[in-house]
Every structure is written in C-alpha cells, then in structure tokens.
Amino acid sequence: MLHFRKYPLILLLLPLLAACASPTPTPLNPTAIPPTLTAIPSTAPSSTSTVLPLPSPTAAPIGGGSGWIEFSSNRAGSYSDIYLMRTDGSQVTRLTKGDSNTFPGPFSPDGQHLLFTGFGSTHSYVGIMNANGSQPVNLTNQPNSDDAFPTWSADGKQITFTSRRDGNNEIYLMNSDGSAPQRLTDNPKDDFAPAWSPVGSLIAFVSDRDNSTGIYSIYFMKSDGSDIKRLTNDGGNDYTPVWSPDGKQIAFRSVQGGQSDIFVINLDGSGLLNLTNNPAEDWSPAWSPDGTQIAFQSNRDGNWEIYLMNADGSNPVNLTHDPADDEMPYWQK
C-alpha cells in the first residue's frame, strides 16, 4: 500500500490514498463532549456506536502538559486510523474506524476538538471531531477538490488548510464551522502544510516558490496572506513546520543528503540545529504544550514508531513499540 510519508505533495498524496468509502470515519468513543461549532453542516453524520469512552488518566505522564498524544496507526488493518495514548505510551485508545484512511490533525486550543484529514470515494477533505472521536463533521465539502493539512488559529475561531480547488496547492482560511473559505496564497508553485503561530498572527507554510519544483523551504506570512518571508535556505528539502509554544522557534523536517532529521530554527533564521542527527528517518515533530519536549515519528527501530525527546534532542524514547506503522503525533493542549 502507498503511504502518506512517501508523497509530501497533496497532489500526489491524496488521490493515491483515497479509497472507496463512506465520507466520514465511524467514531469509537461517542461520550458527553458536546460539539461547540457555531454551525454544523447538514451533511454531519450520525453515530449509534456505544464503545467505551476514553480511559481516565492513571499512568503518570513523562511530562509536557496534558499527558495525551494523538497519532495515526494502521495497527488494526489496512487503513490508518486515529489513536490516542498517554505520553508514557500507555492507555492506547482507538478513536476512529473507517473504510479509508483517516489522518490526524491538531487539537483545538481548548483541547475539546481535533481536526483530521479524511477520504471519500475520490477526494480528501478536512474534518473536525470531538476529542474522544465522536461526531465527525466534513468541514470543506468540496467533492471535486483535495483538502488537507488543517491547523487552528490561536483563538480556535479559524482554520487554515491546503486545497487544490483552484488548480494547485494553496493555503486557505475558513471559520471553525467551515464557513467563509478564502484563499491566502496565490502562486503557481505549491504552497501547503500551514501552521499558525500560537502567540500571534503569523502562519508558517511549505513552498517551492523560490526553488526548483519539488524542492521546498519554510516560509511564514501574516494571517491575511501578506508579507510573505522565507525562513529556511539550508540546502535541504524542508517540510512540516510546527511552532514552539512561545512562538519563538519552528521545528521542521529537513531532508539533507538523502536523510530526514528534525531541525529547529529561530524566526530570524538563526540558531538552525539538527535535533535528531540519526541515520534513520525522523519525521513529523510536535511540541509539548510546555515546550520542554518534542514528539516525532522515526523508523530507527525498523518501522515507524512515535518517539519522545527533550526539546534539545536528548533522551529519545520509543513510546509505541508496535509492528504496525505509528505516525504523525499531535499533543493535546
């Protein structure tokens, strides 16, 4: 099966992974976290599942905030679903079960909802669900476009995402209920994977606009799409920017010399540092809410696993220890 990690462009990623399926995943934990969307689309699916709710936290977390990490795994079959675990790797709970891939997105700033990328019969969409996996909703509803890579504004009122609805990968903005979508970037090259600053109005994203096609750097812009600035020019191929909780640094994946590592950089372009520096592949960094740790995925043990390390790259720990592929961690606030 073709995997997300092989195809960083939404152009390649989304059609290859789409499979014939119902438009939304089946929630496994419909409990009493009510949705707080201002308007629920009329296509919102109903759920009659009665699986047990999330377990109460009992294991002491390693640290970093709430003690919960969301991730993607195909451990239950051919498709990837969303799982939740404690930061010590215990209490793994499956949140979704579908007939196609469902990839996780970040938790809302209040920790009550999470975004995801889902797959219909031919195209992908951006969705939202309660933090326990219940009440998934298709927010973008574009039957002829691929939408993915969602992220929240700091106040939780808006969502940025990547869409091909105008012909190529561009960054879009919409309200948290899916209304009023607007395009922020307009470039013939690819702009994708936005990440909103937690303390301001800046949005980081990935683009090959100043490079050869398919060679990417990290950029950032104001939340209205203006004042675009290039951040990385390190000779590598850079992906998946994520902001530190204080908004002063960005962690990202860089492919240099054919190898992927997790790097961190200051907003002025200084302080570039390789945190993992490992001969294996290291992808998808995610900061802990207190900024002291970074979760990421690595194949250093033979397959993709979720790891946790200190923010300086020290003390990496394998959290998942599963023969399946565990990928794309996000930390609950």
Helix (H, G, I), strand (E, B) or coil at 10: helix
The range of the structural domain enclosing residue 172 comes to: 4-29+59-331
Residue 247 belongs to a domain: yes
pLDDT tens digits for range 167-218: 999 999 999 999 999 999 999 999 999 999 998 899 999 999 999 999 999 9
Residue 35 belongs to a domain: no
Residue 34 belongs to a domain: no
Greatest C-alpha distance within the chain: 52
Residue 36 belongs to a domain: no
Distance CA 141, CA 204 (A): 25
Amino acid at site 303: N
The count of structural domains within the chain is 1
98 is written with which tokens? Answer: 């579908």
Distance CA 118, CA 169 (A): 17
Could you tell me the CATH number of the domain that includes residue 142?
Answer: 2.120.10.30
pLDDT tens for the chain, 333 residues long, are 333 333 333 433 433 333 333 345 554 433 322 222 322 232 333 232 222 233 333 333 334 445 899 999 999 998 999 999 999 999 999 999 988 999 999 999 999 999 999 998 789 999 999 999 999 999 999 989 999 999 999 999 999 999 999 999 999 999 999 999 999 999 999 999 999 999 889 999 999 999 999 999 999 999 999 999 999 999 999 999 999 999 999 999 999 999 999 999 999 999 999 999 999 999 999 999 999 999 999 999 999 999 999 999 999 999 999 999 999 999 997
Quote the pLDDT of residue 66: 59
Residue 94 belongs to a domain: yes
Distance CA 170, CA 192 (A): 6
Residue 269 belongs to a domain: yes
Residue 224 belongs to a domain: yes
298 is written with which tokens? Answer: 């690595």
Distance CA 291, CA 33 (A): 27
Residue 47 belongs to a domain: no
Amino acid at site 68: W
